[in-house]
Amino acid sequence: MDNGPRGPILGGITAIILGLATAFFWYYRNGDNHYKPDYTTTRYTFILELNAFEITLVGLALTLGVYSAIGLFSYFLDGPQVHIGRSGPQLTDGTAAALGIFSVLTAVCAVIFAIGVVQDWGREVMGLSIGFGFVFAAFVLGFFKQGFVGEEGRFDEREDGIPW
C-alpha cells in the first residue's frame, strides 16, 4: 500500500485555512469590540465568544489537523510503502529521541500547571499548560506504541464456544 505525504499536507493546509476562516468570521462579527470592562479592576478583559458556526469550523480544523499529523507521522516512521499486517517494535534513534523530548515537555507542562495552581495564575496560562501537556502526552503514547509495542492489539481465540 502506498503511503505519501500529499494527503496529510493538503489536510494540514485545509486545517489552517479553516482556522483563518474562523478568525475572519469572528473578527467580522465582533470587530474591535472584543474587550469588555472588568468592573473589579481598571483593566479590560479579552473575551472570546464563538457562535455555533465558528465552533464547527474550529472542530473541523482540529480534526483535519490531528489526522494530518497522524498521516505525516505514518509517512515519516513507516516510509513510502506500508505493509499490511503486524509489525514488530521499531525503536530507532529518532523515535527514542522524540519519546524523550515529548516526555520532558509533558513534565514541564505539569510543573507549570502545578506552580500556577499554587500561585493562583490566570486561567489562560493554566489552560494552555494543560492543553499542551495533553498534546505532548498523546505524542508520547504514539511514540511509545511505535517503539515498544509495534503491533496492534492481539485477541486470543476463545475456547469456550462463545463466538466473540
- The tens digit of pLDDT for each residue in 44-58 reads 666 677 888 888 898
pLDDT at 138 (0 to 100): 81
> Which CB contacts under 8 angstroms, 24+ apart, belong to 64-67?
64/11, 64/12, 64/14, 64/15, 64/18, 65/11, 65/12, 65/15, 67/8, 67/11
* Sequence-separated (6 or more) residues with CB below 8 Å from residue 55: none
Task: Output 85 or 115, whichever has higher pLDDT.
Answer: 115
Give the angle 37-115-121 at the CA atoms, nearest 5°.
5
Share of the chain above pLDDT 90, in %: 15
Type of residue at 121: W
Type of residue at 69: A
Is the pLDDT reported for residue 61 higher than 80?
yes
Band of pLDDT at residue 163, cut at 50, 70 and 90 = low
Band of pLDDT at residue 1, cut at 50, 70 and 90 = low
Is the pLDDT reported for residue 151 higher than 60?
no
Distance CA 81, CA 26 (A): 42
Nearest to 18 by CA among 51, 50, 63: 63
pLDDT at 92 (0 to 100): 74
Q: Kindly report, residue by residue over 9-54, the tens digit of the pLDDT.
A: 999 999 999 999 998 998 888 776 666 666 666 666 666 778 888 8
Task: Output 151 or 160, whichever has higher pLDDT.
Answer: 160
Q: How many CA atoms lie within 13 A of 22 on its CB side?
A: 21
